[in-house]
């Protein structure tokens, strides 16, 4: 005997089911679109930046071609190895290195400039961010590092810094603002004028000049021309702390910022001082002269003291 079952469907319940189903599908579609967009953004970053992924303890999970190229490895050579592969062995034994991974494992991000070693043991300078990836409970799943290889820039700036340090050792250097206030001076310059640094910082360049020159239209025109970026090089009459006249063969070289505006003044000298342009560099943050320099405006003064009277 056949049995028939009748299961009536109430129209209202079906309508509600369809409405919920439509809402769920729309939400899934939104999530799918958001995921597609996020993946596209991540792919764009990966195409232009070096990227590597670690587990919370520092073991390498994956790395893109840009990172492998920068470090001289293939992905197969580094996956499963620890981050310390890229570090000087002495550094990996320090508390600072242990703290780096403790902080990342706690979800603390880190950005900065880092020196690492490539496969050949050569220095590679990376401007990088370590970014912990969190799950819904804020537990760290992995750490992604996005980096840019700035080695060539750092090496160039180190070379320039070495050159400037050499100039500073043999020449007298003093820095001024575009208005003529003293910012800094090296020992060679201080010996030449017989002041201490504390005595001159914040004072005006006119401290080294006779009153007759300071009050002249030519003196005001001199600083105005430096602010216009004009270069001056000849023999200058100056005075030391005790009012004794000095004759300095000097060059004032306006230095420009990235917008082409002239910067504060520096003056190097040597004893029997010869001064040359000096810029203060803190790699990898600024560029050296004659290229535009980031930061404060300044010009350089190159001087050589002389007992002879100026010829002009």
- The predicted structure's pLDDT at residue 309: 40
- The predicted structure's pLDDT at residue 89: 95
How far apart are alpha carbons 71 and 121 in whole angstroms?
A: 9
Report yes or no: 20 and 45 within 8 Å, Cβ to Cβ.
Answer: no
Report yes or no: 252 and 300 within 8 Å, Cβ to Cβ.
Answer: yes
Tokens 């790395």 belong to residue: 63
pLDDT tens per residue, range 9-65: 555 555 665 666 666 666 777 767 766 766 676 666 667 689 999 999 999 999 999
On whether the pTM is more than 0.85, the answer is: no
* Residues whose CB is less than 8 angstroms from the CB of residue 156 and which lie 6 or more positions away in sequence, other chains included: none
- For 240-292, the three-class secondary structure string (H helix, E strand, C coil) is CCCCCEEEEEEEEEEEECCCCCEEEEECCECCCCECCCCCCCCCCCCCCCCCC
Report yes or no: 73 and 60 within 8 Å, Cβ to Cβ.
Answer: no
- The predicted structure's pLDDT at residue 262: 60
Q: Which residues of 287-308 are buried (b: 16+ CB within 10 A; e: fewer)?
A: bbbeebbebbbbbbbbbbbeee
CATH number of 171-252: 3.30.450.20
Report yes or no: 252 and 299 within 8 Å, Cβ to Cβ.
Answer: yes
Structure tokens at 55: 């587990």
pLDDT tens per residue, range 70-97: 999 999 999 999 999 999 999 999 999 9
- The predicted structure's pLDDT at residue 251: 82
Across the range 138-164, mean pLDDT stands at 91
Structure tokens at 304: 């050589």
Report yes or no: 63 and 75 within 8 Å, Cβ to Cβ.
Answer: yes
Report yes or no: 300 and 265 within 8 Å, Cβ to Cβ.
Answer: yes
Across the range 127-133, mean pLDDT stands at 96
pLDDT tens per residue, range 199-215: 999 999 999 999 999 99
- The predicted structure's pLDDT at residue 170: 82
Alpha-helical regions (H) of the chain: 11-48, 65-71, 75-78, 89-92, 95-105, 151-170, 187-193, 197-200, 211-214, 217-227
Cis peptide before 100 (omega within 30 of 0): no
Do 171-252 and 49-154 have the same topology in CATH? yes
- The predicted structure's pLDDT at residue 258: 65
Across the range 134-147, mean pLDDT stands at 94
Structure tokens at 174: 């003093």
Q: Domain-by-domain residue ranges, the chain?
A: 49-154, 171-252
How far apart are alpha carbons 150 and 50 in whole angstroms?
A: 11
Task: Give percent above pLDDT 70 in the chain.
Answer: 69
- The predicted structure's pLDDT at residue 137: 92
How far apart, in Å, do the first and last CA atoms of the chain sit?
Answer: 131
Q: Which of residues 27 and 150 earns the better pLDDT score? A: 150
Model confidence at 249, pLDDT cuts 50, 70, 90, reads confident
Q: Which CATH superfamily is domain 49-154 in?
A: PAS domain (3.30.450.20)
* Count of other CB atoms within 10 angstroms of residue 166: 11
Q: Is the pLDDT of residue 301 over 50?
A: no
pLDDT tens per residue, range 220-239: 999 999 988 888 888 899 99
């Amino acid at each position: 005997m056949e049995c028939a079952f009748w299961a009536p469907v109430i129209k209202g319940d079906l309508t509600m089911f369809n409405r919920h189903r439509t809402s769920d599908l729309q939400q899934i579609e939104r999530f799918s679109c958001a995921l597609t967009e996020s993946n596209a953004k991540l792919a764009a970053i990966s195409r232009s930046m070096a990227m590597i992924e670690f587990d919370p303890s520092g073991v390498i999970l994956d790395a893109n071609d840009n990172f492998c190229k920068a470090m001289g490895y293939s992905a197969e050579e580094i996956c499963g190895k620890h981050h310390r592969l890229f570090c000087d062995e002495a550094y990996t034994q320090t508390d600072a290195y242990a703290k780096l991974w403790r902080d990342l494992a706690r979800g603390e991000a880190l950005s900065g400039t880092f020196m690492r070693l490539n496969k050949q043991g050569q220095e590679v300078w990376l401007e990088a961010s370590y970014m912990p990836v969190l799950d819904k409970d804020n537990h760290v799943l992995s750490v992604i590092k996005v980096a840019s290889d700035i080695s060539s820039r750092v090496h160039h700036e180190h070379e320039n810094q070495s050159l400037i340090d050499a100039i500073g050792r043999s020449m007298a250097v003093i820095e001024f603002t575009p208005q003529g206030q003293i910012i800094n001076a090296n020992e060679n310059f201080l010996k030449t004028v017989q002041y201490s640094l504390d005595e001159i910082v914040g004072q005006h360049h006119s401290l080294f000049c006779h009153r007759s020159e300071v009050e002249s239209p030519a003196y005001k025109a001199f600083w105005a021309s430096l602010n216009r970026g004009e270069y001056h090089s000849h023999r200058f009459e100056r005075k030391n702390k005790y009012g004794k006249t000095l004759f300095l063969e000097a060059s004032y070289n306006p230095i420009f910022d990235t917008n082409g505006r002239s910067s504060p003044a520096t003056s190097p000298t040597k004893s029997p001082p010869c001064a040359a342009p000096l810029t203060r560099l803190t790699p990898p943050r600024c560029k050296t002269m004659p290229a535009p320099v980031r930061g404060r405006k300044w010009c350089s003064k190159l001087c050589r003291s002389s007992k002879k009277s100026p010829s002009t």
